[in-house]
Structure 1
Amino acid sequence: MARLLVQNDDVVVRLSWREALLARRKGVRVPLAEVQEARVESDWWRAMRGAAERGKWRAERFCMGTWRHAGGVDFVAVRAPGPVAVVDLFPGGRFARLSVSTPDPEGAVQAVRLAAQRAREEGRPAAREVTGPSRSARRPLEKKDDTEGEERSTRSV
């Protein structure tokens, strides 16, 4: 069964060899700074969104791999029935969400929450933090005209 772990500054999804074959990847590693929220979803199907992109699935049994939807791509390693650990990520990364069936989803979610909170308290910035325009984009450049010796403002396009 898949495992959701926190290692150093990363959230790691480890798959068994069978799950890795079905998902077509060994696992997933995401920086803790990209974690927006972690929760337990009691119904496995509520953690799913979009349509399968890569991997394998069998209706009412399991879904392994990536699923594409309007908001991006999710990585899923879900077995029915049962609760699922769901980690929502900030926009701009490789994945928008990690959905994983683990032996102890409450414990895994609690570990991710605590590690993400600790990372924020230590002041580590979000990896994909969106910032405003740079100073040069907000203000025109100041150039000196060598022939006349006066300053004038120009805009580059």
Structure 2
Amino acid sequence: MARVLVQDDDLVVRLSWWEKAAAHRGSVRVPLTAVRRVTVESDWWRALRGEALHGVWIPGVLSAGTRGHVGGQDFVALRPGRPVVCVELRPTAPFGLLAVSVRGDAQATAERVRCSAPDIDASTAWRQPLPVAEETADSWRALDMYRKH
């Protein structure tokens, strides 16, 4: 099971050997200055955004790897039935979100990260939605044309 750790000035998602194999990568390391917000999701599937890019996705069993969406990429290491620590990152980080199922107390893990990160956004206790493309008159026309065919 993956662990979320604070080591020196970094946030580290340390994967087990089988998660490394499933995700096709080693541990994830980002500077604590890149951490924007930390939340906990009780349902693992709520942490999934976008489409699978690299990794293993077995519905109801395991999601490990990189997911792509309009806002960038997320890294997930998720198992059903466990709470998920969701770490939103600033645009300078390689991922927009780190979502990790944890074995122990997810709230305590999230609080440990919050206390260690220097500039947490505490304006809301929930994750922010993905950005969407700007709507224009042309985008609505294209949608209407698609519906007619």
Please give the range of the TM-score, normalised by the shorter of the 2 chains: 0.7 to 0.9
Amino acid at match of 1:3: R
1:120 to partner: Cα distance = 3.8
The runs of 5 or more residues in structure 2 that have no matched partner are: 121-149
Q: Work out the CA distance in 1 between the residues paired with 2:53 and 2:46.
A: 18
Aligned to 1:75: 75
Q: Work out the CA distance in 2 between the residues paired with 1:23 and 1:107.
A: 25
Q: Work out the CA distance in 2 between the residues paired with 1:31 and 1:98.
A: 13
Q: Work out the CA distance in 1 between the residues paired with 2:78 and 2:21.
A: 14
Conserved in 1, the CA contact under 8 Å of 2:82 and 2:102? no
Q: Work out the CA distance in 1 between the residues paired with 2:119 and 2:89.
A: 14
Aligned to 1:86: 86
Aligned to 2:17: 17
Name the TM-score, length of structure 2 as normaliser: 0.77
Does residue 36 (structure 1) correspond to residue 32 (structure 2)? The answer is no
Q: Work out the CA distance in 1 between the residues paired with 2:107 and 2:62.
A: 20
1:95-106 matched pairs, under 5 angstroms: 95-104=95-104, 105-106=106-107
Identity, % of aligned positions: 49
1:44-55 matched pairs, under 5 angstroms: 44-55=44-55
1:2 to partner: Cα distance = 0.4
The runs of 5 or more residues in structure 1 that have no matched partner are: 122-157
Conserved in 2, the CA contact under 8 Å of 1:61 and 1:81? no
Q: Pairwise CA RMSD of aligned residues?
A: 1.3
Aligned to 2:115: 114
Q: Work out the CA distance in 1 between the residues paired with 2:11 and 2:93.
A: 13
* CA deviation vs aligned residue, 1:37-70 (integer Å, no higher than 9, x gap): 0010011011110010000010011100000011
Q: Work out the CA distance in 2 between the residues paired with 1:110 and 1:120.
A: 14
1:33 to partner: Cα distance = 0.3
Task: Specify the structure having the higher radius of gyration (Cα).
Answer: 1
Conserved in 2, the CA contact under 8 Å of 1:22 and 1:55? yes
1:115 to partner: Cα distance = 0.2
Structure 1 runs, 4 residues or longer, greater than 3 Å off = none
**Count of aligned residue pairs for this structure pair:** 119
Amino acid at match of 1:82: R
1:86 to partner: Cα distance = 0.3
Q: Work out the CA distance in 2 between the residues paired with 1:92 and 1:8.
A: 19
1:92 to partner: Cα distance = 3.2
3-state secondary structure, aligned to 2:25: coil
Q: Work out the CA distance in 2 between the residues paired with 1:10 and 1:92.
A: 14
